[in-house]
């Protein structure tokens, strides 16, 4: 135990520990919150482990709001000031015959045994104000050395729960840590076991990985591991695009594309998948140049399949598929100038909405920089010009949806239109408004109607 180190605990956490101690139990904060505090980061949740058994925890916290969802595994959630804290009895996991969950858990009275079941040394530290830092696996040393290392024998730990393979990559990407060589070798070897892990567990880790500050380095170093989750990545590795617009191979282009968008899960996953359809779409002309016509459609199908694998919710899936499908829609005029004209932007807003149109601007910038044939400076200037034009346009609160059109279906029925013609007329009127041909006023629109039909 290291009694010199003092970690600052939030008052409710300190009081939960003190209550358990007062009732004769040992209790510590443990795992991610200790790691993050030592890194000088704000933990997003505080987990507690204790020698108290579930019934004993319930007695100790009888006057507080508690939730029993994990009680079988020894976890009681205690809510203080609307913040939930997970309090878990020291435990060891039984065998992992399905490589996903332990067949059983056994409660133990020993902190070190509880820490030994944890995945990485940096996640296997506990702290209490009474006894200081408990660090039997030298996590603090690995934290200082920026290293992810398994607790115990790496291959065995990945065999028990293959999700740890992806968690190792996730922590390395988020903290920009290296992966200790034997841990790294074991995770490469055990990567095929990822196919047995539930999609929703993969999703959480993969999205955090993609949003990590060192995501690019991890994608570059471990593409085969990612290909166990998204098999369409495999042909991209080292794939020569043989196209004069691209100076990098397909995987390197993809990695740069991911690095070049903000750390948002939808944007990062869009860039990971945007060109997955290229190998299947490839044609080669007589000069040996590769062409990829129609690849966004194939990438979109792969995005749909990936959304199923990861159990993405519908809103995420719809945005992802839409952005992948439209990642390379033209944003320039036929003469090649940046297109910021009003009617062009309004039509794009109508089709994509503000959020996705801004996303498409960001995707374009990154996709272009990732070709290696333009500079970030040039693309930043283009992006700024597009965003500024959009800001100025939106400030006028222009009409670009049927909802905001100054006439509706009832007005057109009253004007004598019937059936299908109503919908068609509304669409024509909206287009005329977006093109600046007719003001968005009821009388003007009804006047213009005959000339449009």
Please give the Cα distance from 373 to 385 (Å, whole number): 20
φ/ψ of residue 17, rounded to 5:
-60, -45
Kindly state whether residue 43 participates in binding Mg ion, applying the rule CB under 5 A: no
Kindly state whether residue 50 participates in binding ligand ATP, applying the rule CB under 6 A: no
Tell me the closest approach of the beta carbon of residue 425 to Mg ion, in angstroms.
56
Kindly state whether residue 32 participates in binding Mg ion, applying the rule CB under 5 A: yes
List the one residue from 161, 259, 367, 379 that touches ligand ATP (CB under 6 A): 161
Closest CB to ligand ATP among residues 148, 370: 148
246 binds, among Mg ion, ligand ATP, none (CB under 5 to 8 A by kind): none
Tell me, residue by residue from 162 to 201, as one string, x for binding to ligand ATP by CB under 6 A and - for no binding. Answer: -xx-------------------------------------
Question: Crossing angle of helices 265-273/250-259, nearest 10°?
Answer: 170
- DSSP at 152: S
What's the count of helices (H) and strands (E) in the chain, helices before strands? 21, 13
Closest CB to Mg ion among residues 44, 410: 44
Closest CB to ligand ATP among residues 123, 184: 123
| Tokens at 176, concatenated | 């920009």
Please give the Cα distance from 113 to 90 (Å, whole number): 8
Query: Which of the ranges 134-142, 156-164, 180-188, 239-247 carries the binding residues for ligand ATP, by CB under 6 A?
Result: 156-164
Other Cβ atoms less than 10 A from the Cβ of 185: the count is: 13
Say which residue the tokens 């996709």 belong to. Answer: 367
Tell me the closest approach of the beta carbon of residue 123 to ligand ATP, in angstroms.
3
Nearest to 87 by CA among 57, 123, 42: 57
Closest CB to Mg ion among residues 42, 451: 42
List the one residue from 66, 123, 183, 184 that touches ligand ATP (CB under 6 A): 123
Kindly state whether residue 32 participates in binding ligand ATP, applying the rule CB under 6 A: yes
Kindly state whether residue 119 participates in binding ligand ATP, applying the rule CB under 6 A: yes
296 binds, among Mg ion, ligand ATP, none (CB under 5 to 8 A by kind): none
Instruction: Extract the runs of DSSP E, i.e. beta strands, from 31-131.
Output: 47-50, 65-70, 75-80, 83-89, 91-93, 105-107, 126-128
Q: Which residue of the chain is nearest ligand ATP when measured via CB?
A: 32
Kindly state whether residue 212 participates in binding ligand ATP, applying the rule CB under 6 A: no
Closest CB to Mg ion among residues 211, 236: 211
225 binds, among Mg ion, ligand ATP, none (CB under 5 to 8 A by kind): none
Q: How far separated are the first and last CA of the chain, in Å rounded?
A: 83
SS3 212: coil
Nearest to 119 by CA among 165, 59, 186, 88: 165
161 binds, among ligand ATP, Mg ion, none (CB under 5 to 8 A by kind): ligand ATP
Alpha-helical runs (H) found in 326-419: 342-369, 376-395, 409-414
Kindly state whether residue 74 participates in binding ligand ATP, applying the rule CB under 6 A: no
Please give the Cα distance from 301 to 92 (Å, whole number): 42
Tell me the closest approach of the beta carbon of residue 138 to ligand ATP, in angstroms.
15
327 binds, among ligand ATP, Mg ion, none (CB under 5 to 8 A by kind): none
Residue 98 exposed, middle or buried by CB count within 10 Å (0-12, 13-18, 19+)? exposed
Q: How far is CA 119 from CA 104, 166, 448, in A?
A: 17, 11, 69
Binding region for ligand ATP (CB under 6 A): 31-32, 47, 118-119, 123-124, 161, 163-164
Binding region for Mg ion (CB under 5 A): 32
């Amino acid at each position: 135990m290291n009694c010199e180190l003092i970690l600052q605990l939030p008052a409710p956490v300190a009081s939960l520990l003190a209550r358990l101690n007062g009732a004769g139990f040992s209790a510590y904060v443990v795992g991610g919150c200790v790691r993050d505090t030592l890194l000088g980061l704000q933990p997003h949740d505080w987990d507690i482990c204790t020698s108290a058994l579930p019934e004993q925890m319930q007695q100790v916290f009888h006057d507080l709001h508690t939730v029993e969802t994990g009680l079988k595994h020894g976890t009681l959630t205690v809510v203080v000031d609307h913040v939930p804290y997970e309090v878990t009895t020291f435990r060891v996991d039984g065998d992992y015959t399905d490589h996903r969950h332990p067949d059983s858990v056994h409660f133990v009275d020993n902190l070190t045994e509880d820490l030994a079941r944890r995945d990485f040394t940096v996640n296997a530290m506990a702290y209490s104000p009474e006894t200081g830092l408990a660090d039997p696996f030298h996590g603090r040393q690995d934290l200082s050395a920026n290293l992810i290392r398994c607790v115990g024998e790496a291959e065995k730990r990945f065999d028990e729960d293959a999700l740890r393979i992806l968690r190792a990559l996730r922590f390395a990407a988020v903290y920009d840590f290296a992966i200790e060589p034997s841990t790294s070798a074991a995770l490469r070897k055990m990567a095929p076991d990822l196919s047995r892990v539930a999609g929703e567990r993969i999703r959480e880790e993969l999205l955090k990985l993609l949003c990590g500050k060192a995501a690019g380095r991890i994608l570059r170093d471990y593409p085969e591991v990612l290909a166990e989750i998204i098999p369409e990545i495999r042909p991209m590795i080292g794939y020569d695009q043989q196209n004069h617009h691209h100076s990098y191979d397909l995987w390197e282009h993809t990695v740069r594309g991911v690095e070049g968008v903000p750390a948002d899960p939808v944007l990062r996953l869009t860039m990971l998948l945007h060109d997955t359809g290229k190998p299947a779409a490839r044609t080669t002309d007589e000069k040996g140049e590769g062409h990829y016509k129609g690849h966004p459609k194939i990438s979109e199908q792969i995005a749909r399949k990936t959304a199923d694998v990861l159990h993405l919710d519908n809103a995420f899936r719809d945005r992802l598929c839409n952005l992948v499908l439209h990642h390379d829609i033209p944003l320039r005029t036929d003469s090649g100038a940046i297109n910021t004209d009003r009617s062009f932007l309004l039509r794009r807003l109508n089709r994509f909405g503000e959020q996705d149109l801004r996303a498409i601007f960001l995707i374009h910038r990154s996709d272009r920089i990732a070709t290696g044939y333009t500079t970030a400076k040039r693309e930043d200037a283009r992006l700024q010009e597009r965003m500024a034009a959009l800001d100025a346009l939106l400030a006028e609160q222009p009409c670009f949806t049927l909802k905001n059109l100054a006439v509706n279906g009832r007005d057109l029925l009253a004007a004598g239109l019937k059936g299908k013609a109503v919908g068609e007329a509304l669409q024509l009127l909206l287009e005329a408004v977006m093109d600046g041909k007719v003001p968005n006023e009821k009388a003007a629109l009804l006047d213009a109607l005959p000339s449009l039909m």
